[in-house]
Chains A and B, each alone.
Chain A
Amino acid sequence: DTEVTQTPKHLVMGMTNKKSLKCEQHMGHRAMYWYKQKAKKPPELMFVYSYEKLSINESVPSRFSPECPNSSLLNLHLHALQPEDSALYLCASSQVWRQGQETQYFGPGTRLLVL
């Protein structure tokens, strides 16, 4: 199995809602990532998990809360989001985290719209 899966594919939520994004990989990778991508822009790193521990938090607002329950799963919990948080949220994984030198495998993304 060489793919990263993400659910849901699309999500519409109000600013008072709580929702979660889910990411899963079964490649035995020990590093997982969350990115945010706005239209016609490159992905921006949000979080890096290495061996289920949070290694990088790119000063992301606390309304985004990541969780890595085990080596195959990565969640992103969303609460009290703003309309400007609407974007494509991408999950990625790599064998290990090599400080930017790793090849990353991306999921198809969750398209989030905050109303």
Chain B
Amino acid sequence: SQQGEEDPQALSIQEGENATMNCSYKTSINNLQWYRQNSGRGLVHLILIRSNEREKHSGRLRVTLDTSKKSSSLLITASRAADTASYFCATDDKAAGNKLTFGGGTRVLVKP
């Protein structure tokens, strides 16, 4: 099973709306990252949040981390058609041999 499980698996919204996706993980972590992947392309790093941080912002992105619940959320505000992509959370999974482990991903469709 994967360290990170994302919810929802797919999300369809109108341009201008906010998109929220969640990631849950099982073991303790040092940090959690979010990546974006446009269809059939490489992943792009969005943001990293450390285990001692609760919230982080980058442009239209807001990430929260709740280590007591072992969960994180990614909020994209004022979405644009160009935000259409898959979004993956990734953690350093000690139980999996200290490698960067990706969640299942959320596919986001932003309709113009």
Count of chain B residues with a beta carbon within 8 Å of a chain A beta carbon: 27
Question: A104 touching B102 by the CB < 8 A rule?
Answer: no
Stretch from A13-21, A37-45, A60-68, A75-83 forming part of the interface with B: A37-45
Chain A residue nearest in CB terms to B31 = A101
* B contacts with A: majority SS: strand
- Pick the residue among B33, B41, B104, B107 that contacts A103 (CB under 8 A): B33
**Residue A69 CB within 8 A of the other chain:** no
Question: A42 touching B103 by the CB < 8 A rule?
Answer: yes
Counting chain A CB atoms within 10 Å of each CB, the highest count among B41, B43, B103 belongs to B43
- A51: which B residues are within 8 A, CB to CB? none
Counting chain B CB atoms within 10 Å of each CB, the highest count among A4, A42, A58, A106 belongs to A42
- What 1/0 mask marks residues of chain A from 22 to 66 whose CB sits below 8 Å from any chain B CB? 000000000000000000111101001000000010100000000
User: Given the interface contacts A99-B99, A100-B99, does A42 sit within 8 Å of B88 by beta carbon?
Assistant: yes
Question: B41 touching A104 by the CB < 8 A rule?
Answer: no
* A contacts with B: majority SS: loop
- A45: which B residues are within 8 A, CB to CB? 99-101
Stretch from B60-68, B73-81, B90-98 forming part of the interface with A: B90-98
B residues at A contact (CB < 8 Å) = 2, 30-31, 33, 35, 40-45, 48, 88, 91-94, 97-105, 107
